[in-house]
Amino acid sequence: MGGCDYCRRDLCRVMTFAATVLTLYPEMFPGPLGISLAGRALEEGKWSLDTVQIRDFAIDKHRTVDDTPAGGGAGMVLRADVLAAAVDHALGAHPDTPVLAMTPRGKSLTQARVRQLASGPGVILLCGRFEGFDERIFAARAIEEVSIGDIVLSGGEPAALMLLDACIRLLPGVMGAPSSGAEESFENGLLEYPHYTRPAIWEGRTIPEVLRSGDHAKIAAWRESQSEIDTRLRRPDLWERHKGARVQSASGARHENEEPDQ
Ligand code: ADE
């Protein structure tokens, strides 16, 4: 069969994951994504990056992008008309690409959603500043609101960098050892097991004996059990979901570890 080393279909030869970032601070990109794995992948054309200056879509001579909040209060709000023009421009260049707004009001980003996004044509990311976006933009355009955690950043740009990093490392040919992606935290709904390396004894602490046994079945069983113990202790929320998924799977209602629809 023909095809390339990764997809066997030749599709990836012509497909590049296209990232477009709408921001008031384009100089923040590619930032950390210009080095290491992501930087090399960018140079190799495995993903592409366009930044769009939101201010270029202002409609007044002062290039205003924000205004005071209706009803009063602190801060400024990004104008829906300016944002819509920037989003429409990006969609014109990349039709059928999901548009995501980075905001602490969004749905929490998951590894399952990252995987879906990484397997698509790319993403258009809208980065907010100030108090946020005029809410009407979300009624007027198909935009998914995404949060990277229950913390408040000074703007959406660091969140966009995180989302892109998570997607890029999953692109075909970006990560050295593909299996290290499948076994890591969240891929099966659990935290990954702990790792050790040389020296065998460090500050009086040894590596668990089983890892030096050479018995691969025993090692796999130990890792599975550590992964479960750590998830139960550190992330009871993940553990409950994992248990629930197993019960549902046993009753045939849902496949094991399958996430609910996003
Ligand atoms: N902008 C500010 N805080 C954010 C968060 N937690 N997630 C995504 N975008 C943000």
Q: Please report, as a single letter, which amino acid is at residue 147.
A: S
Q: Which residue has the tokens 């960098």?
A: 161
Q: Do 205 and 160 share a domain, yes or no?
A: no
- Overall number of domains in the chain: 2
Name the residue of 23, 100, 102 whose CB sits within 8 Å of the most ligand 1 atoms, as the mutation to test its pocket.
102
Q: Which two tokens stand for residue 28?
A: 């923040």
How far apart are alpha carbons 114 and 229 in whole angstroms? 25
Q: What is the atom index within ligand 1 of the atom nearest the CA of 151?
A: 6
Q: Do 163 and 205 share a domain, yes or no?
A: no
- Which residues of the chain are under the pLDDT cut of 50? 1-3, 5-6, 12, 256-257, 261-262
Q: What stretch of H or E contains 80? A: helix 80-93
Helix axes 216-234, 236-250, angle to 10 degrees: 120
Ligand 1 mean position, distance from CA 167 (Å): 17
Structural domain containing residue 235: 201-257
Q: What is the CATH number of the domain that holds 25?
A: 3.40.1280.10
Q: Do 69 and 158 share a domain, yes or no?
A: yes
Q: Is residue 175 a part of any domain in this protein?
A: no
pLDDT of residue 225: 98
Q: What is the atom index within ligand 1 of the atom nearest the CA of 148?
A: 7
pLDDT of residue 182: 65
Q: Do 32 and 148 share a domain, yes or no?
A: yes
As for ligand 1, residues whose beta carbon falls within 6 Å of it are 102-104, 147-149, 151-153, 156, 159
Ligand 1 mean position, distance from CA 104 (Å): 4
Q: Which two tokens stand for residue 240?
A: 């409950």
The protein residue whose alpha carbon is closest to atom 5 in ligand 1 is: 104
Q: Do 162 and 206 share a domain, yes or no?
A: no
